[in-house]
Amino acid sequence: MNTVVKLQEVKIKNINITEDTITAYLVDGRVISVPLAWSWRLSEATPEQRAKYEIIGDGQGIHWPDIDEDISAEGMLYGIPAARPRKSSK
């Protein structure tokens, strides 16, 4: 018996941000939560900066213009935290 699995594209419908987590509500009804610390820019941002976001790419990600941060739905789903930039050794 052959089983065909159709992968569904991960798209964000809405988000909620607390002091500790980013929660994404997906179009297909799933909910993903990740620690806010996964994004060093968001964890260092003010609550006002965190509240100002836009869902981009037809739900493929979230953009925070005030802090120039982007998080993808797939990054949240597969557990890919943002790395801090390396300091220059000059």
Count of domains forming the chain: 1
All residue ranges of the chain with pLDDT < 70 are: 1, 4-7, 88-90
* CA geometry: angle 24, 55, 18, nearest 5 deg: 40
Q: Would you say residue 61 lies in a domain?
A: yes
On whether residue 2 sits in a domain, the answer given is no
> Over the stretch 34-48, which tens digit does the pLDDT of each residue have?
999 999 999 999 999
What is the reported pLDDT for 7?
A: 64
Q: Of 18, 57, 52, 54, which Cα lies nearest the Cα of 34? A: 18
Range of the domain at 17: 12-78
Q: Note whether residue 21 is domain-resident.
A: yes
Q: Kindly state whether residue 20 falls inside one of the protein's structural domains.
A: yes
Q: Is 90 inside a domain boundary?
A: no
Instruction: Report in angstroms the alpha-carbon separations of 47 from 13, 30, 78, 84.
Output: 21, 25, 26, 20
What's the pTM value of the predicted model, to 2 decimals? Answer: 0.80
The pLDDT value given to residue 79:
84
Residue 34 inside a domain? The answer is yes
Q: Say which residues have a Cβ less than 8 Å from residue 89's Cβ, sequence separation at least 6.
A: none
Please indicate, yes or no, if residue 4 is contained in any of the structural domains: no
What is the CATH classification number for the domain harbouring 34? 3.30.2020.40
SS3 of the chain: helix, strand, coil, percent, to 5:
25, 30, 45
